[in-house]
Structure 1
């Protein structure tokens, strides 16, 4: 794996986290708030289970640094409500969840404005980025700008969610259910359609707060002659 850009996004995860944004005033179906949770499940309460054996609380910065050693791909989650502008955000928490039924999952900050449109739409498209789409990723991770300005896209075949031009692959989904996950929500989607757009491209990776690319493949060593 080759380093491409170090300290990308100021060591912040790519999920749609915007501390300056106000929490959603409107409670959507299936959502919960910290007030809905039992006191020992609130994300701001230090529980005994959250502490290492030494008894010291886990520091968020240390947690982020250690977990940053897990390399991930990068996606852009998009959606569009009827009659509303499209929404989307850069996401590194996308995972395949189940084959039967076909389910995928991603997590998103409770403070995310993008999530409001995705939840209301009830559907979304996962756009898996390739190695040359770092600028597109940065656009969808930025705040205070029209993320779709100048971006080429067309409706996905089933849900009509934005399918971004040039993506490595795409997954068209409807929202199956949403679970609380501390300071995030965990969204589960049922796959309605999917395909590979460019089978020759390399994926865009994220590792230790920087964008990375896969290393050139190493030729397999010949088997020794008996």
Structure 2
């Protein structure tokens, strides 16, 4: 474990998001920090996901995902969706189904709906590319929650290597 390397990587500016996936009546949502815009034309977002994550198969089968942007006041929401998938995390949160059934959080700062257009291996993760098909800014005056502000909530310091290779 390297706290120094974890601290270094927390200096890369990234937000905290709740990613929603669905297939039919099955749905799930999880916290992610590795989301970024990658193209203006067409509008594309990239999501980094561990292929061993319980929601990865829902993402592949449903061929879509939502990106719910959290505000600084939603640290509890980040913690809730970052916990292990032992229960239906959406049961205690206000949400609605997007166009493809993906969960859209009612209290998010903003949300995007994306159709999966491809993926690329990226080390121990997969980069999923999504074409943005819809979106809404719900709280224009709210500041987004950043990954650095979450500290080691996700336990990533234990995963980083001790040194650079």
1:87 maps to what in 2? 28
Aligned residue pairs total: 151
Q: 8 Å contact 1:127–1:163 — kept in the other structure?
A: yes
TM-score for the superposition, normalised by structure 2: 0.84
Shift of 1:63: 3.6
Question: 147, 153, 162: which one pairs with 2:95?
Answer: 153
Shift of 1:79: 1.4
Q: 1:208–1:75: structure 2 CA closer, same or farther, 3 Å change rule? A: closer
Q: 8 Å contact 1:104–1:189 — kept in the other structure?
A: yes
Over residues 141-160 of structure 1, what are the superposed CA-to-partner deviations in whole Å (9 max), with x where a residue is unaligned? 0013321121110112x323
Higher helix share: 2
Shift of 1:161: 1.1
Q: 1:160–1:83: structure 2 CA closer, same or farther, 3 Å change rule? A: closer
1:96 maps to what in 2? 37
Over residues 57-104 of structure 1, what are the superposed CA-to-partner deviations in whole Å (9 max), with x where a residue is unaligned? xx86554332122232111110110132x1111011110110101111
Quick one: distance in 2 between partners of 1:173 and 1:209?
Answer: 25
1:132 maps to what in 2? 73
Q: 8 Å contact 1:72–1:206 — kept in the other structure?
A: yes
SS of match in other structure, 1:149: helix
Quick one: distance in 2 between partners of 1:129 and 1:148?
Answer: 15
Over residues 32-51 of structure 1, what are the superposed CA-to-partner deviations in whole Å (9 max), with x where a residue is unaligned? xxxxxxxxxxxxxxxxxxxx
Quick one: distance in 2 between partners of 1:65 and 1:200?
Answer: 29
2:129 maps to what in 1? 188
Over residues 180-214 of structure 1, what are the superposed CA-to-partner deviations in whole Å (9 max), with x where a residue is unaligned? 11100110000101120111212112217529xxx
Q: 1:120–1:155: structure 2 CA closer, same or farther, 3 Å change rule? A: same
Quick one: distance in 2 between partners of 1:208 and 1:200?
Answer: 19
Higher relative contact order (CA 8 A, sep 6+): 2
Unaligned runs of at least 5 residues, structure 2: 153-165
Question: 133, 148, 152: which one pairs with 1:207?
Answer: 148
Over residues 18-38 of structure 1, what are the superposed CA-to-partner deviations in whole Å (9 max), with x where a residue is unaligned? xxxxxxxxxxxxxxxxxxxxx
Radius of gyration: which is bigger? 1
1:105 maps to what in 2? 46
Quick one: distance in 1 between partners of 2:115 and 2:45?
Answer: 10
Counterpart mapping for 1:57-72 below 5 A: 62-72=4-14
